[in-house]
Amino acid sequence: MDPRKPGERLLLQGNEAIVYGALAAGCRFYAGYPITPASEIAELLSVKLPQVNGTFIQMEDEIASMGAIIGASLAGVKSMTATSGPGFSLMQENLGYACIAEVPCVVVNVMRGGPSTGLPTNVAQGDVLMARWGTHGDHPIIVLAVSSVSDCFSITVKAFNLSEKYRVPVILLSDEVVAHTRECITLPQTEQVRVVDRIAPKTPPEWYKPYATNNRGVPDMAIFGDGYHHHVTGLVHDEWGFPTQNPKEIEGFHNRLHDKITKGFPEIMMTKTFDMADADICVITYGCVSRAARMAVKNAREHGVKVGLVQLVTLFPFPRKAIDSALRQCKAAIVSELNMGQMSREVNRVNQYDCRVIKHSRYDGQMITPDEITKQILSCA
Amino acid sequence: MVVEAEVIRQNYLRHNKKFPHVWCPGCGNGIVLGSLLRAIHSLGYDKDDVVVASGIGCSSRMTTYIDFNTLHTTHGRALTFATGVKLAKPRLRVITVMGDGDATAIGGNHFIHAARRNINITAIIVNNSTYGMTGGQYSPTTPYGSRSTTSVYGHVEHDFSISELAITAGASFVARGTVYHAAHLDRMIEQAIVKRGFAVVEVISNCHVQHGRRNKLGGAIQMINTFRDQAVPVAKAKKMSAEEMEGKFTIGVLCDVEKPISTEEYARIRHESCQLPGELHDEDDQDY
Ligand SMILES: Cc1ncc(C[n+]2csc(CCOP(=O)(O)OP(=O)(O)O)c2C)c(N)n1
Ligand code: SF4
């Protein structure tokens, strides 16, 4: 299973595909702490990373893991960590640091049932809103969800690319089902994988302002040891990177941090639609449930129901445009998810039409089956 | 001397960007800052090759003022960020500055594991026996019976020794100094930076504003003079009885051993298993 033999068909589980995606995207540093159902990512990377001149380290906890990947990224190496709910809780502190100091990194959360130690290790999608709002304070963040082994490869690459381009931490939400499902995938040729890197400053060190606004809204990023000897802090800072108490600078700082993501909306917000052209009912899903929903839509179509599927790849920033057009078009939208209605609440929040938003939850540690979704669809028809 | 001080002031302080500083007049943090700069200067390092990471607290504000690659992290986590920097770019010389609360309360777990791992990082811990920044609450090094804003009836817990903790956890080098013995502190910090492996310098410092005042220990000068009276060099302490050492503490090099460094060991694994020789950069891998 050599990642450098692309074109080969491999039978991989989701967690393994995340590893190959990360390596293809240029990830060369991993720090983490063992937790099921994410541990395979660490185990495989501990083998693969030294082979590509990368570094693996098992830290003393998830707080430390998050700190270490930020440090590595500031030293110029693309880095990631992977965990599940309890560890994701511990990462929130330093995740906020990555947001405020604009440090690219990728955090994989392979969801299991919560809260607390919860349900080790049954499937759940209970960390959706936490991924958006888990760390304190207003902060921009990108949250992506994977639904298949092939997603685990390609969306992981996207996660790194977005994180490098926008200088934000990107949360990759997987779940126990996707993580442990084995499917055949073909790894793309190395040169077919589009890899984006952060932009280094061209200005001489004396003129370099580490957090200056530019037309991209994303400051050029110097790395430690490259001659810029700049300051990085978790305090709200001015353009030079030093702490500020000036109300104007504080407001400007927050605005820029959010604007850089707003500017990138068209590229960042990814959704997939199936059979939506003539649909008057839609199912809205993300992650593993999307697979059951595909089947359910197909079955319901055989019953003559005009139903389609909107699968969210990007969960946050919330893909408002795609959801809005689905809600305008349909009389009913079924949000199927493995929690008590976290995403259906978001869908409802943006609903401006007569469309009925139906919360379809399951939270007993089991997958939603295609039949359950078909039943929901037929009851709306 | 005067010329040298001016050279250091000009070269290593971010004077046009970040002064005046936040510290109270007489705070020991300034003396530690001076020692750190003198040590780096006398070692002749290029400031681009030095990374200084700190946590949160008065002492940790130091990174704002000094002109290296500086990383002001979250409370207690400086060593975790520093570990990432060091592993990602072993050629950088990585130093952390932390307070006693920062390094041994909230960051205690990271501290013992950095020592156990014996990663090639220098840790300077400014021990002022209190949480200075948040207003003088008790810390892991607040002495039994002391008054603090959270122990107004007298502290009922016992303190521990940061240096002994570091030795037990596996640090390669552990030294203790005080802000009274500034020239000695320069040497301790210099030795710690040069030492290959995890090296700790515990600096006994004064927070006269939060700790001294509440415990009738006097102002800055009186507190610093007390350190002169309490500090006993390691060699002398060996000849003293337990009774004679009552109320005193040792200063100097407490531990200096050679042991494998995890960063170097890992570099070896990488060299042996790397399948992409094109990606290997010996220079970057060189661990200083
Ligand atoms: C997670 C977290 N908890 C609490 C604080 C508040 N806080 C800031 S500094 C500090 C204590 C600093 O004490 P110490 O590390 O001894 O450094 P000193 O200020 O005495 O130099 C605390 C508790 C924080 N910033 N973050
Ligand atoms: S509060 Fe104490 S530690 Fe903080 S600057 Fe003042 S004297 Fe120094």
The two beta strands, A142-145 and A169-175, are parallel
Tell me which CATH homologous superfamily contains domain B2-261. Answer: Thiamin diphosphate (ThDP)-binding fold, Pyr/PP domains (3.40.50.970)
Q: What's chain B's average pLDDT?
A: 95
Q: How far apart are CA A158 and CA A193, in angstroms?
A: 10
Share of chain A above pLDDT 70, in %: 98
Inter-chain touch A225–B51, beta carbons under 8 Å: yes
Q: How many CA atoms lie within 13 A of A277 on its CB side?
A: 2
Q: Which residues lie across from A10 on neighbouring strands?
A: A185
* B99 Cα to the center of ligand 1, angstroms: 8
For A357, the enclosing helix (H) or strand (E) is strand A356-361
SS (H, E, C) B185-196: HHHHHHHHHHCC
CA distance B113 to B100: 16
| Alpha-carbon Rg for chain B in angstroms | 19
Q: Is the dihedral of CA A350, A134, A153, A222 positive or negative?
A: positive
Residue ranges, CATH 3.40.50.970, chain A: 9-192
Q: Whose CA is nearest to atom 4 of ligand 1?
A: B75
Residue B58: phi and psi, rounded to 5, are -60, -50
Which pLDDT does position A204 carry in this prediction? 95
What residue has token string 């986590």? B77
Of B48, B74, B87, the CB nearest to A55: B87
Residue B279: is its pLDDT beyond 80? Answer: no
pLDDT at A316 over 90: yes
Position in ligand 2 atom list of the atom nearest CA B220: 7
Q: How far apart are CA B222 and CA B218, in angstroms?
A: 5
Instruction: Report CA torsion sign: A96, A99, A104, A109.
Output: positive
Q: What per-residue confidence (pLDDT) applies to B275?
A: 79
CA dihedral B2, B4, B5, B11 (to 10 degrees): 140
CA-closest candidate to residue B193, choices B39, B19, B14, B7:
B39
pTM score, whole prediction: 0.97
Q: List the end-to-end C-alpha distance of chain A, in Å, as a whole number.
A: 47
The side-by-side arrangement of strands in the sheet containing A307-312 is: A271-274, A307-312, A281-285, A332-337, A356-361
B131 vs A300: CA distance, rounded Å:
64
Q: Which of B133, B111, B139 is nearest to B123 (CA)?
A: B111
The closest CB to that of A71, out of B72, B81, B275, belongs to B81
**Any idea which residue has 């310098």 for tokens?**
B201
> Amino acid identity of A286?
Y
Minimum distance, in Å, between the CA of residue A45 and any CA atom of chain B: 13
Domain map (residue ranges) of chain B = 2-261
CA–CA distance, A245 with A177 (Å, rounded to integer): 47
Q: Is the peptide bond between B20 and the residue preceding it cis, with omega within 30 degrees of 0?
A: yes
Q: What is the pLDDT of residue B286?
A: 73
Considering only CB atoms, B84 lies closest to which of A53, A71, A230, namely A71
Partners of A68 on chain B (C-beta within 8 Å) are: 80-81, 83-84, 87
Closest ligand to C-alpha of residue B134 is 1
B206 lines ligand 1 (CB under 6 A): no
Over 70: is that where the pLDDT of A6 sits? no
* Residues of chain B neighbouring A208 (CB-CB closer than 8 A): none
CB atoms within 10 A of CB A357: 22
Amino acid making up residue B167: I
Strand-strand pairing, A29-32 and A79-83: parallel
Taking the CA of residue B70 and the nearest CA in chain A, the distance in Å comes to 5
Integer Cα distance of A298 and B44 in angstroms = 71
Q: Cβ A75–B88 below 8 Å, yes or no?
A: yes
Q: How far is B98 from chain A (nearest CA, A)?
A: 15
Q: How many CA atoms lie within 13 A of B218 on its CB side?
A: 8
The third-level CATH classification (topology) of the domain covering A272-380 is Rossmann fold (3.40.50)
Closest B-chain CA to A54: B270
Q: Does ligand 2 lie within 6 Å of residue B29's CB atom? A: yes
Cα B107 to Cα B158: distance, rounded to the nearest angstrom: 18
Domain A9-192 homologous superfamily, CATH:
Thiamin diphosphate (ThDP)-binding fold, Pyr/PP domains (3.40.50.970)
The DSSP bridge pattern shows strands B122-127 and B249-256 to be unpaired
Atom of ligand 1 nearest to the CA of B131: 13
**Pair B128, B28: CB distance under 8 Å:** yes
Report the residue of B48, B81, B95, B102 to disrupt the A interface, i.e. the one with the largest count of A CBs within 10 Å: B81
**Of A337, B278, B117, A354, nearest to A346 (Cα)?**
A337
Residue B281 in this model has a pLDDT that exceeds 60? no
Nearest CA to ligand 2 atom 2: B207
- Best of A1, A29, A55 to mutate (most B CBs within 10 Å, chain B): A55
Q: Pull the structure tokens for residue A319.
A: 């893909």
Q: Does the beta-carbon distance from B113 to A71 stay under 8 Å? A: no
Q: Is the pLDDT of residue A2 over 60?
A: no
Q: Which atom of ligand 1 is nearest to the CA of B59?
A: 21
Residue-level length of chain B: 288
B250: its two tokens: 């040792």
Q: DSSP for A28-89, please give it.
A: -EEEE---TTTHHHHHHHHHHHHHTT-EEEE-SSHHHHHHHHHHHHHTT--EEEEE-HHHHH
pLDDT in tens, A264-302: 999 999 999 999 999 999 999 999 999 999 999 999 999
The DSSP output letter for A316 is E
Q: How many CB pairs under 8 A join A and B?
A: 158
Option in A72, A73, A229 nearest B67 (CB): A229
Ligand 1 pocket: which of B134, B160, B162, B203 to mutate (most atoms within 8 A of CB):
B134
A97-151 confidence digits (pLDDT tens)? 999 999 999 999 999 999 999 999 899 999 999 999 999 999 999 999 999 999 9
Q: Is the peptide bond before A121 cis (omega within 30 degrees of 0)?
A: yes
pLDDT at residue A5, rounded to an integer: 65
Candidates A73, A228, A240; nearest CB to B17: A240
**A172 closest CA partner among A189, A195, A147, A196:** A147
Contact A51 B63 (CB under 8 A): no
Which residues in A lie closer than 8 A to residue B77 (C-beta atoms)?
Answer: 63-64, 67, 93-94
The pLDDT tens digits for A216-238 are 999 999 999 999 999 999 999 99
The rounded distance, in Å, linking the Cα atoms of A273 and A116 is 34
pLDDT > 50? residue B8: yes
Q: Is the pLDDT of residue A1 over 50?
A: no
Q: Distance between CA atoms of A56 and A50, rounded to whole angstroms?
A: 7
pLDDT for A151? 97
Asked if B89 lies within 8 A of A77 by C-beta distance, the reply is yes
Cα end-to-end distance, chain B, whole Å: 29
Contacts of residue A54 in chain B, CB cutoff 8 Å? 270
Q: What is the DSSP letter of B91?
A: T
Residue A95 main-chain phi, psi, to 5 deg: -60, -40
B76 pocket-lining for ligand 2 (C-beta < 6 Å): no
Pocket test for ligand 2, best of B148, B209, B211, B215 (most atoms within 8 A of CB): B209
